Amino acid sequence: MLLPRRLCSLVGGFLLLFLCFFYVLDHYDYQYDSHLAVVGPEYPTRESPQDRPWPRSLAHTRPILNDTSWATAHLENNDTAFSEYRKSMPCKKKYWRCNSSVPTDPEPPPEVLQELEAFGGSDPSSSPMLDAPLWTQYADRGYTVIGRNETAARRLPHVLIIGAKKSGTRALLAFLRVHPSIRASGPEVHYFDRFYSRGLSWYRSKLPLSLEGQLTVEKTPAYFTTPGVPARVKMDLPSCRLLLVVRDPVTRALSDYTQSLSKHRARRPFEEMAFVKSSPGLVNSEWGPISGGLYARHLQRWLDHFPRSSIHVVSGENLIKDPAVELCRVQEFLGLRRVITEKHFFFNVTKGFPCLVKREKSGRPHCLGSSKGRSHPEVSRETYNILRDFYRPFNYKFYKMIGQNFRW
Ligand code: A3P
């Protein structure tokens, strides 16, 4: 009688220990969840990329450490930065909550404020805010509502990824497609900028079949910068939600130029195109790769037609560093159940970018193609600094408009 009782308490003790062990493991994972943790210059101190441009040539050599070693390395090197970073890690798998307290813009320095005044434009705080979510009729809260009446149809978009070009729009679309409540067109449709005269039935024919309860998403980054598009979108899709991916405009300009090179549209060196010929050092703000990064200017056109609350801004940098967090916020914005989490991503060291563990259709690992994640041409430090100074007032204006500071 004594023996079985002892045995029982021994087994019970082991069981308790076992449970504690798993609890600690789980907790640890929650605290340091960073399967995409990459030891790279952009991570530990969270310095702005202006101080240390993206070392593209190192992309292949950046090691991925597991959670523990990454945490340890950073705790040793930069305790405060690490705990700050950890605090800012939203969308914990345990609590399913996105950190909606995105950093707001501190007042820009006085000299920049002066430049802002000179730049003009309306006060973004006067942009009308929505009282209630626009589209509870589509929202998929808590469970996946698909196909209540099982009729597949080609529906006009509920969501548009409007830009910005070369900021990670394809990655965002590819990641969103994993969600069962999302249906998205593959190629860019260019309806509102190029083919508007073809009419809505043409547009509809280019969109995928979807079931009731699914959201149709279309992505054409040229929408963001094309004047006249916001008014058209407002007219045809008045309650549409808009996703805007943005990235450091200097890097974006280089990425845009690299794409032009690959299509043989640009033949002259970047510096020759980026500056006005007659006055070296004067930035050519009319040149596409430069003007595409004047986010404040383009966004103002959208805010003339859409309330701020129907536009969600995605950080292109964070989409690379921590796609799960950005996707968490996007799903929240779209009123979707948080299906896409960190489990859906892995970091491909060869590619130097996060990829999907499973593509939505094939179920196989999927990285974006070779046209995404190209090496950019080197530019001199001087060029870099001139461009940075050029963009600064526009960036501040943009931060003010969206209430979010990207620290570019
Ligand atoms: P680069 O090719 O200059 O690096 P878009 O899809 O809007 O054209 O943006 C392309 C950019 O998306 C790429 O620019 C790359 O930096 C960025 N990007 C973000 N996430 C990515 C991912 N998971 N895989 C590849 N590129 C990604």
Q: Convert the pLDDT of each residue in 17-69 to its tens digit.
A: 767 665 554 443 333 233 332 222 222 223 333 323 223 332 322 222 222 22
- Whole-number Å distance, alpha carbon 133 to ligand 1 midpoint, is 30
Tell me what the mean pLDDT of segment 174-196 comes to.
96
Q: Is the CB of 56 under 6 A from ligand 1?
A: no
Q: 353-356 and 345-348 as β-strands: parallel, antiparallel, unpaired?
A: antiparallel
d(CA 49, CA 40): 12
d(CA 23, CA 40): 30
CA 382 to mean position of chain CA atoms: 29
- Whole-number Å distance, alpha carbon 373 to ligand 1 midpoint, is 5
Closest ligand 1 atom number to CA of residue 170: 6
- Whole-number Å distance, alpha carbon 169 to ligand 1 midpoint, is 7
Which amino acid, 170? R
- Residue whose CA is at the smallest distance from ligand 1 atom 8: 166
pLDDT single digits (tens) 322-336: 999 999 999 999 999
Kindly tell me if the per-residue pLDDT of 256 is higher than 50. yes
How high is the mean pLDDT of the chain?
A: 75
Q: Select from 322, 246, 377, 313 the least CA-distant residue to 40.
A: 322
- Residue whose CA is at the smallest distance from ligand 1 atom 1: 373
With a CB cutoff of 8 Å and minimum separation 6, the contacts of 4 are none
Q: Is the CB of 374 under 6 A from ligand 1?
A: yes
- Whole-number Å distance, alpha carbon 315 to ligand 1 midpoint, is 12
Q: Is the CB of 216 under 6 A from ligand 1?
A: no
Q: pLDDT category, 363, cuts 50, 70, 90?
A: confident
d(CA 187, CA 175): 15
Which pLDDT score is estimated for 213?
86
Tell me what the mean pLDDT of segment 188-192 comes to.
98
Token pair belonging to 206: 């280019």
Q: Is the CB of 315 under 6 A from ligand 1?
A: no
Q: Is the CB of 255 under 6 A from ligand 1?
A: yes
> pTM for this one?
0.72
Token pair belonging to 68: 């523990």
- Whole-number Å distance, alpha carbon 17 to ligand 1 midpoint, is 46
- Whole-number Å distance, alpha carbon 170 to ligand 1 midpoint, is 7
pLDDT single digits (tens) 24-36: 544 433 332 333 3
- Whole-number Å distance, alpha carbon 14 to ligand 1 midpoint, is 49
Kindly tell me if the per-residue pLDDT of 76 is higher than 60. no
Q: Is the CB of 167 under 6 A from ligand 1?
A: yes
- Whole-number Å distance, alpha carbon 118 to ligand 1 midpoint, is 34
Please give the residue that has the higher pLDDT: either 142 or 16: 16
Instruction: Name the residue of 251, 330, 367, 372 whose CB sits within 8 Å of the most ligand 1 atoms, as the mutation to test its pocket.
Output: 372
Q: How many residues does the chain have?
A: 408
Tell me what the mean pLDDT of segment 231-250 comes to.
97
With a CB cutoff of 8 Å and minimum separation 6, the contacts of 106 are 405
